[in-house]
């Protein structure tokens, strides 16, 4: 398995996963030019893609979707209500639109969608299952039993660590926005991400900390918070990897 976080953060999110000969994107929240550039940096091309899986309709997850589908006619998978809620929905070629309710098979891999708590129409995360299990779970208000079940036994997890609670509370965001982020349909904090990993019975080997806020978090703070909690709870063997808004971060597993 090869995974590359092409971009992750409030300005745009895009994840490339290659497993058992199938290549897919989870989200297309950056420009087509940037997607092509980042794929080229890891020796891949848009033409290699077998499918694009969209988690929800917010612009930082679909910004490049219309351009990439109109030019390359790549199949796109998401929940029906999510498609209808996309600002770019009318620009998508109809033959590219593929509703996903549970799971689909792409070559030798299975891609399974699962609901997550976030302030979108019908947001989901994705589990990619082949020789190993990889889970992408960002934009999460809280970790419910459904999500915890999906995270179990994954070897690699892309997990949200959006904010430091004190930085958010003491920062410049207006109070209604702070309330939204802190709510159970908002975003996961650094500490929440750490405790999610602590409570798993079958823990991953690699975890990408994703969707870090540029205003309410710091990469070193996210890593230190997660690693400190894991250490205090005597959890060992998890390799923490930071993602970046402006460059790809890859793992060959």
Mean pLDDT per 10-residue segment, the chain (253 residues): 96 97 98 98 97 98 98 98 97 98 96 97 98 97 94 98 97 96 96 98 98 96 98 97 94 92
d(CA 142, CA 70): 35
Catalogue all structural domains in the chain, each as residue range(s) with its CATH number.
2-252 (3.60.15.10)
In this structure, are residues 156 and 127 in contact, taking their beta carbons and an 8 Å threshold? no
What pLDDT does 7 receive? 97
d(CA 197, CA 146): 15
d(CA 119, CA 116): 10
Q: Which of 8, 48, 43 is CA-nearest to residue 28?
A: 8
What pLDDT does 107 receive? 94
The CA dihedral of 157, 22, 103, 63, to the nearest 10 degrees, is: 70
What pLDDT does 253 receive? 86
What pLDDT does 178 receive? 97
What pLDDT does 112 receive? 98
The CA dihedral of 47, 51, 57, 60, to the nearest 10 degrees, is: -40
């Amino acid at each position: 398995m090869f995974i590359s976080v092409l971009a992750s953060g409030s300005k745009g999110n895009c994840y490339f996963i290659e497993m058992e000969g199938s290549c897919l994107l989870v989200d297309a929240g950056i420009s087509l030019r940037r997607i092509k550039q980042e794929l080229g940096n890891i020796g891949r091309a848009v033409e290699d893609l077998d499918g694009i899986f969209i988690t929800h309709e917010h612009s930082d997850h679909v910004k490049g979707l219309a351009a990439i589908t109109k030019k390359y006619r790549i199949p796109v998978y998401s929940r029906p209500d999510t498609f209808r809620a996309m600002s770019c929905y009318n620009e998508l070629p109809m033959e590219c639109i593929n509703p996903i309710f549970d799971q689909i098979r792409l070559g030798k891999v299975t891609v399974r969608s699962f609901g997550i708590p976030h302030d979108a129409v019908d947001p989901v995360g994705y589990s990619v299952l082949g020789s190993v299990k990889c889970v992408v779970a960002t934009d999460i208000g809280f970790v419910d039993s459904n999500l915890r079940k999906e995270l179990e036994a994954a070897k690699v997890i892309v997990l949200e660590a959006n904010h430091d609670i004190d930085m958010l509370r003491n920062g410049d965001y207006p109070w209604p926005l702070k309330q939204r982020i802190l709510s159970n349909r908002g975003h996961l904090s650094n500490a929440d991400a750490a405790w999610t990993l602590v409570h798993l019975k079958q823990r991953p080997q690699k975890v990408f900390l994703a969707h870090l806020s540029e205003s309410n978090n710091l990469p070193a703070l996210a890593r230190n918070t997660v690693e400190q909690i894991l250490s205090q709870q005597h959890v060992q063997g998890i390799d923490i990897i930071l993602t970046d808004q402006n460059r790809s971060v890859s793992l060959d597993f």
